[in-house]
Amino acid sequence: MSTREILTFQFGHYANYVGAHFWNLQELSFDYTGTVKTEVNHDILYREGQTTKGEVTYTPRLLIADLKGSLKTLPESGGLPYESEGQGFSWDAVEKVEEPTPPKNEFLSDIDTEGPSHQEKQYNLEQDVKTWTDYLYPRLHPRSVNIVRDYVHDDTTECFDILHKGKTLWKQDYGETFTDNIRKYVEECDSMQGFQINFDCTDGFAGLALSCVEYLADEYSKSILAYPIIPSYFPDNNPTSQEDRDKSNLKDSIRLVNTALSIQELSEHATLFVPICTGDKGWRKPGSPRKFDYLNYNPELYYHSSALLASAMDTLSQKYRHKSNIYTMSDICADLTGYGRKMAAASLGMPLPINEREYLIDFLNNTTKPIYTCITPSCKIATDKIFQLITVRGVPENYLKAPMKEAKQQMNIPAYRCTNVKEMFELYFQANNFLSATNLTICEKPLEVKTPFPKFFAPELNKYGFVGSEGDPVKVESCPVVAGYHNGNFISDMLEKLHREVSRIKFAKLHKFKQEGFESSEYSDSLDRLAEFKDNYEDDFEL
């Protein structure tokens, strides 16, 4: 069976925080001994190559965009020797002029020196991480990193804050180089299944990403799965003076308009898109942090909140990367986007709070609240009349139910007839979701949360992420997780909130958009099309 390759894109600083965790999860799950059974076909997201010296490389099939000054310790070449692209050109013959790189933190230094095992060592990454490259484990292909040189990271005078700045940039040399890199990756693929695009939808990177989505839709007849991402926190979220409040309100308005325009344009060009954020509102401020049982994360640390979104993405992608599954990205898009409903919501339950001495049948029978938390902003996932794709990982079959001799009260529960984890979860969702359809994927392996994954787990968890650890707290190495895509009428409420909020903004006050050539009439048209898209979710339908 041929590998169904996917090309991944990351546009923006926070999207790269999410991406760094995502690729760490992949890389740290590799088995180099050949003794561990792997469930995932890594060739879907990775490519094999060769350096000019003939050394074999295995790197993410990935294109990244970020601003000048954001890479810190990561060289623009991705950290690997240059690969041969077949021109017979020797980079050793070229004099390379590079700025001195900042000193590496202890974790990165240990990776480079292959010193003491970094899995057994304690690091203070909460303090050490200043950017996403400070905890990035894998090395990248030389064409992966594409720096925007016209703007500087953290520059407050000339900000890359308007969607249309990204669109302008795409029409220049940057877009030409970027599309050339896309073409090179696509030409290497035998049987490509599609593109995954993760991007910050609150700033100029939205314009870059949307231009890329439109280009992909025009050039390639492949599925486009997009994640518009809203960061968990903005530095201007806690103003202390009236002047700061006014500035923060203006920035909130700009971010809100960028988000609304992103969703409207994705509804035209993406195959499926899923907005995600660990804040419950997303706009105007990210809002209160979503709560997860047995997790103590700090939403002001991108290093923390991005790990949650990466865990959800990794779990959701199991469906089209699983070796035993014939599902593809286009199947997922087709299943979820009937009636023109291209936008879906996402959820995450991490860890799945099962007691180490508890059977799954008792956990599901006794739980009184949803086993997942919505991670789509301003959205409450309905329980009725929905279509959902759920992935559960890391629940062992021996946790299913008690043997018949010890079953006692379990025998009275209808779920006792279930013979495996998949059947039991199917029955659970069938009982809890009226007039709904659930497609379930079960993965045997849990989510491995090895260093440099944040240590934000509650002390009650044992080594395997189950509840009930006694004595001294232990380092959690893996945990059971559930994640889902959900679609239904409930999405219209989120779109209604977004449309209502963005309609209150007086466009005449947003001078920066006008400076980029975006007219008031275009703005009104975009809002009208957003309202039309919302209508796709209004009509009753039958599954």
* Beta carbons of 196 and 9 less than 8 angstroms apart: yes
Q: Residue 87 pLDDT > 60, yes or no?
A: no
How many other β-carbons are positioned within 10 Å of the β-carbon of residue 332? 23
How many other β-carbons are positioned within 10 Å of the β-carbon of residue 306? 25
**What does the pLDDT average to over 166-192?**
96
pLDDT at 88: 47
- Name the band, by pLDDT with cuts 50, 70 and 90, for residue 97: low
pLDDT at 201: 98
Q: Residue 422 pLDDT > 70, yes or no?
A: yes
Q: Residue 26 pLDDT > 90, yes or no?
A: yes
Q: How far is CA 459 from CA 66, 125, 269, 426, 475, in A?
A: 36, 19, 45, 31, 9
Nearest CA among 286, 254, 81 for reference residue 164 = 254
pLDDT at 324: 77
Question: Could you report the per-residue pLDDT of 461-497, keeping only the tens digit for each?
Answer: 999 999 986 777 889 999 999 999 999 999 999 999 9
pLDDT at 12: 97
Dist CA 324 CA 377 (whole Å) = 33
User: Which amino acid, residue 87?
Assistant: Q
Question: Could you report the per-residue pLDDT of 315-341, keeping only the tens digit for each?
Answer: 999 999 988 768 899 999 999 998 899
pLDDT at 51: 81
**Range with the poorest average pLDDT among 24-38, 262-276, 380-394:** 24-38
SS3 content of the chain, % helix, strand, coil (to 5): 40, 20, 45
pLDDT at 89: 47
Question: Could you report the per-residue pLDDT of 150-175, keeping only the tens digit for each?
Answer: 999 988 888 999 999 999 999 999 99
Dist CA 71 CA 66 (whole Å) = 8
Share of the chain above pLDDT 70, in %: 93
Question: Quick one: how far is CA 1 from the chain centroid?
Answer: 27
DSSP codes of every residue in 378-416: T----SSSEEEEEEEE---GGGS---GGG-GGGGGSGGG
Q: How far is CA 131 from CA 128, 177, 311, 389, in A?
A: 9, 25, 19, 33
443 phi, psi to nearest 5 deg? -110, 130
Q: Residue 116 pLDDT > 60, yes or no?
A: no
pLDDT at 98: 58
Nearest CA among 348, 354, 304 for reference residue 455 = 304
Q: Residue 522 pLDDT > 70, yes or no?
A: yes
Question: Could you report the per-residue pLDDT of 203-241, keeping only the tens digit for each?
Answer: 999 999 999 999 999 999 999 999 999 999 999 988 889
Question: Could you report the per-residue pLDDT of 339-351, keeping only the tens digit for each?
Answer: 899 999 999 999 9
Q: What is the mean pLDDT of the chain?
A: 92
pLDDT at 53: 83
Q: Residue 36 pLDDT > 80, yes or no?
A: no
Q: Tell me the pTM.
A: 0.95
Q: Residue 10 pLDDT > 80, yes or no?
A: yes
Q: Residue 29 pLDDT > 70, yes or no?
A: yes
Q: How far is CA 456 from CA 18, 304, 433, in A?
A: 16, 8, 31
Share of the chain above pLDDT 90, in %: 79
Q: Residue 91 pLDDT > 80, yes or no?
A: no
